[in-house]
A and B are shown apart, each in its own frame.
Chain A
Amino acid sequence: MTKALESAVDSASAAVLARYDELAALLATMGDRPRCDPDLSAVATAALLHEARLLDAGRFEEWLGGWTDDAVLWVPLSAPAHPGRDQSLLLDDRRRLAERVEWRRDPAAWGQQPPSLTARVVGGVEAWPAPGGGLVARSSLLIEEHRHGRRQQLAGYQVHELVGDDLRRRTKILVVAALGTGVRNPSFLL
């Protein structure tokens, strides 16, 4: 292997770790942020409510279109956490997000066939300017899920990094307390 190739390999691997560190830091520092920017919070609220509406309606393809190419959806088991050191429910890149949407359409994907009916309540949206442009938002989330005649209610919060004029999702972190205490089939979580 040439030195140039070796260096490219090293930097690609370092980029993975850097992205993981970035995710862990974003989650860990969320509680230390100052009061939010009210105008930016109103902008973020519109984007988050739209996302919740798409997910509850099962419009997953449209939802998938709202992510950047370097997107990460991360669902840790608790917070704080690090995606390179702690087990997570999931950490999806754009490729696995696309597979997840395919999976949701597969009539033999028994974990979601019949699909969960969900109602998301997004509240307490706070947003701040993001260092690289765009915004970072934290919001409370309550999801009621109905499936096979039973219901479960999961509470937590979500962190979004939204970028560009159309506020595409580059990062989403979903923290759901029940993942660390006992949850029934969480495959509806997105």
Chain B
Amino acid sequence: MTASDFDHLVQPHRVHRRLYTDPQIFSTEMTRVFAASWCYVGHESEIPEAGDYRTTTLGLRPVLMTRGRDGAVNVLLNRCAHRGTVVAGEARGCAKRFVCPYHGWTYTPEGRLVAIPFPADHPAEDYAKLSLGRLEAASYRGFVFATLNAAPEPLEVWLGEAREALDTIIDRHPGGELAPMGSPQLLEFAGNWKLSWDNAADGLHATFAHHSYNTLGEMVDTETVLARDPGSTPMVSKALRNGHMVVDQRPGIPQGPWATMRNVPFREPLESRLAAAGDGDLLDLATGSMLNLSLFPNLIFVGNQLLVVEPVAVDRTRLQLWLTSAPGAPDEIDLLRLRVDEDFVNFGTPDDLDMFERVQRGLGVPEMEWIDMSRGLPDSAGDAEAGTVSGPITSEAPQRRYLAHYARLMNNPAATRAR
């Protein structure tokens, strides 16, 4: 792959199908995009005590997030320095030591090698050289990101203007507290990971792909937020630097998001209980913020879900759906959140999964090379200095901008390394 390949494959108004179908491009993305970017690996609240850990992947690499004895968060490659065995096999747990199941090499939660069985037989004198590989890790208000980029920009610089939206999402929770609940739902689709990214800031698809969700809302006389004419709404989409994207639906729902919520199971008693306690104004907390934020390349805030995009193969993606709780709010809020988020996951998400798979099948047609991304061109001016572009939610500016960032990453590979 030459340096200019992606200038051809990603053009201002169209992108080439190979981005979604070429296994070699996919393999290159796992390093140039995923390993070289800050990726979300977990939330600090998931590992409150020393030794707590959880596993995930970063660009196909098995990764381990641990809480060290000093209270600090470590992000490590879950790969034994000996033969390469994945050391921690569970999704989560607590361990004073990580013992490789193959030959018994033993590591601390900080990744330091502390024991090799039958050490007299082993020539290794410097255990420090045989630690678990380490990623650069940083937290922003509890959200842990990690990267293998040899010289990453600081996390807060990388977040840039997206910090404002992230702060808004966090600060709507009493005490600024939010935490993923338990374990995620794992949904897979037979399509490229970028299809979920294209969809995340796509304000037009809701009218068509989610038509059934909108009319399901009509059955019970509720105007879901997606039922509007997307071309005449004050809702805004924004393309931010580094491929981040925002869809702000709040201007379109001045009455607040709870007013657009359908009759989810057990809504009424919990709603009445909140009202009786004088907490009726907190009901909007039971729905999402209506501020969809996508932090390129793997974290999407939608509803009260953290949607983590996990590429598996060029035509296979796993979505981790983590429902977040509001620990500082009355219990009824989380009880409502559980049923509220099921609503879209059951009656909306299946549409998206189906569209992703339909697109992937269609992109298999070699004679039709290009994907049109021209809607809304020319891009209206945003904040040129900050590199942001704003427009109506029907504009494809966010997709154009994230793909331009993607092309830069692919054309100019950053060095990656384990610490």
Residue positions of A touching B, CB distance < 8 A:
1, 5-6, 9-10, 12-13, 15-17, 19, 72, 77-78, 83-93, 95-96, 99-100, 102-103, 106, 108-112, 148, 150, 179-187
Nearest CB in chain A to that of B266: its residue: A16
- Is A91 in contact with B186, judged by CB distance below 8 angstroms? no
Once the chains are docked, how many angstroms separate the CA of A84 from the CA of B269? 14
CB-CB under 8 A from B177, the residues of chain A are none
Residue positions of B touching A, CB distance < 8 A:
181-190, 209, 211-212, 215-216, 219-220, 263-266, 268-270, 272-273, 276, 318, 321-323, 332, 334-335, 338-339, 341-342, 345-347, 349-351, 353-355, 357, 361
Could you pull out 22 A-B pairs where Cβ atoms are within 8 angstroms? A6-B276, A10-B273, A16-B266, A16-B270, A19-B266, A72-B265, A84-B334, A85-B182, A87-B182, A87-B338, A89-B185, A89-B346, A90-B342, A95-B263, A100-B346, A109-B351, A180-B186, A183-B186, A184-B189, A184-B353, A187-B346, A187-B350
B301 to chain A, nearest CB (A): 16
CB-CB under 8 A from A182, the residues of chain B are 186-188, 318
Contacts A12-B269, A93-B266; A112 near B350 (Cβ below 8 A): yes
Once the chains are docked, how many angstroms separate the CA of A90 from the CA of B338? 9
- Is A102 in contact with B216, judged by CB distance below 8 angstroms? yes
Which of the residues A93, A181, A185 comes within 8 Å of B354, measured between beta carbons?
Answer: A185
CB-CB under 8 A from B345, the residues of chain A are 89-90
- Is A13 in contact with B269, judged by CB distance below 8 angstroms? yes
CB-CB under 8 A from A78, the residues of chain B are 183
- Is A85 in contact with B181, judged by CB distance below 8 angstroms? yes
- Is A103 in contact with B318, judged by CB distance below 8 angstroms? no
Nearest CB in chain A to that of B335: its residue: A84
Once the chains are docked, how many angstroms separate the CA of A86 from the CA of B325? 10
A110-B212, A110-B351, A185-B187 known; 15 other A-B pairs, CB under 8 Å?
A5-B276, A9-B273, A13-B270, A13-B272, A16-B269, A86-B183, A87-B341, A90-B345, A92-B265, A106-B212, A109-B350, A111-B347, A183-B187, A184-B190, A185-B189
- Is B338 in contact with A83, judged by CB distance below 8 angstroms? yes
B358 to chain A, nearest CB (A): 8
Once the chains are docked, how many angstroms separate the CA of A134 from the CA of B292? 47
Closest A-B pairs by Cβ, 6 of them:
A111-B350, A12-B269, A109-B212, A13-B273, A93-B265, A187-B350
CB-CB under 8 A from A102, the residues of chain B are 216, 219
Number of A-B contacts (CB under 8 A): 130
Would you call the interface of chain B mostly helix, strand, loop, or mixed? helix
CB-CB under 8 A from B269, the residues of chain A are 9, 12-13, 15-16
CB-CB under 8 A from A184, the residues of chain B are 187-190, 353
- Is B338 in contact with A84, judged by CB distance below 8 angstroms? yes
B311 to chain A, nearest CB (A): 13
Nearest CB in chain A to that of B180: its residue: A87
- Is A103 in contact with B265, judged by CB distance below 8 angstroms? no
Once the chains are docked, how many angstroms separate the CA of A185 from the CA of B317? 12
Once the chains are docked, how many angstroms separate the CA of A88 from the CA of B341? 10
- Is B338 in contact with A91, judged by CB distance below 8 angstroms? yes
B184 to chain A, nearest CB (A): 7
CB-CB under 8 A from B342, the residues of chain A are 88-91
Once the chains are docked, how many angstroms separate the CA of A104 from the CA of B276? 37
- Is B189 in contact with A108, judged by CB distance below 8 angstroms? no
Residue from A89, A109, A183 with most neighbouring chain B CB atoms (10 Å): A109
CB-CB under 8 A from A112, the residues of chain B are 350
Nearest CB in chain B to that of A187: its residue: B350
Residue from A95, A96, A150 with most neighbouring chain B CB atoms (10 Å): A96
Once the chains are docked, how many angstroms separate the CA of A74 from the CA of B67? 34
- Is A106 in contact with B215, judged by CB distance below 8 angstroms? yes
Residue from B184, B209, B265, B361 with most neighbouring chain A CB atoms (10 Å): B265
A169 to chain B, nearest CB (A): 16
- Is A96 in contact with B338, judged by CB distance below 8 angstroms? no
CB-CB under 8 A from B219, the residues of chain A are 99, 102
CB-CB under 8 A from B355, the residues of chain A are 110
B268 to chain A, nearest CB (A): 8
Which of the residues A84, A111, A148 comes within 8 Å of B351, measured between beta carbons?
Answer: A111
Once the chains are docked, how many angstroms separate the CA of A103 from the CA of B182? 29
B108 to chain A, nearest CB (A): 29
Nearest CB in chain B to that of A77: its residue: B185
Contacts A86-B181, A88-B342, A182-B318; A103 near B212 (Cβ below 8 A): yes
